[in-house]
Amino acid sequence: MKTTTNFIKCGILAFAITVTSCSKDGDIGPIGPQGEQGIQGEQGEQGPAGEDGEALGVPGPQGEQGETGATGPAGEDGTNGEDGEDGNANVATYTYDISSESGATIPVTAPALSQEVIDNDLILGYLSKDSSIYTPIPAPIYAFGLGDNSDIAVEISLNRYWMFFYEVGTENLKSVTAGQLDELKLIVIESNSTTSGKSSKANTLSSLKSAGVDTNDYYAVMDYYGLEY
């Protein structure tokens, strides 16, 4: 009986050793599936704000303002210029050198001859051979002073004063040569009349005649208006 009992104990012990041995040396089973993520917990309360850090640097004190520099000496006043001679605001003279011009037609560019001047103002023209004797133009006969007489006609257009030379008593153009003439003088007398056109020019011419001024005399006109020759 005792022997049977011991045999049974030995058998149980051997089974236990076998089971234990298989548990240690056997293959590891597969990892099971990951479980579902749990519900996120509530957010905790925000902590108190931290104290501000110190500034990087403390501004230094403002420096004192420098002294104002000395004022430089004032410049001397310039010398006053001499007064110009009194002129006549209503009269202007223009001189053109035509000593090198030749031909039967001589145009002179005159910017002063605007359309307003042409329409309203009195324009007097004079030709000179030696800058001392001025002959009025247009004229039935113009004496060159060289024993050669010609008729001369004048046409005034915008910015231009045209001279046309003809054989005396004919309509045949006659050329002049360079050096036969020296200067063309134009005197523009502004109209003071409230009228315009031919009436204003006629009024100006009438006023000169009433004052005893011969408009064919260049010097008489210049003297009347106090202008230099």
Per residue of the chain (229 residues), what is the pLDDT tens digit?
545 455 555 455 544 444 444 444 556 666 666 666 656 666 667 666 656 545 444 555 666 766 765 665 654 544 443 433 444 559 999 999 999 999 999 999 999 999 999 999 999 999 988 767 888 998 766 555 555 677 889 999 999 999 999 888 888 998 888 988 899 999 999 987 656 667 889 999 999 999 999 999 999 999 999 999 8
Q: Does a structural domain hold residue 81?
A: no
pLDDT at 225: 95
pTM above 0.85, yes or no: no
| Burial bucket for residue 46 (CB in 10 Å: 0-12, 13-18, 19+) | exposed
Q: What are the beta bridge partners of residue 122?
A: 189
pLDDT at 1: 53
Total structural domains within the chain: 1
Q: Does a structural domain hold residue 160?
A: yes
pLDDT at 23: 43
Distance CA 14, CA 11 (A): 5
Q: Does a structural domain hold residue 120?
A: yes
pLDDT at 62: 66
Q: How many residues does the chain have?
A: 229
Phi, psi values for residue 159, rounded to 5°: 65, 15
pLDDT at 17: 46
DSSP annotation of 176: B
Distance CA 137, CA 128 (A): 11
Domain that holds residue 109: 91-225
Q: Does a structural domain hold residue 152?
A: yes
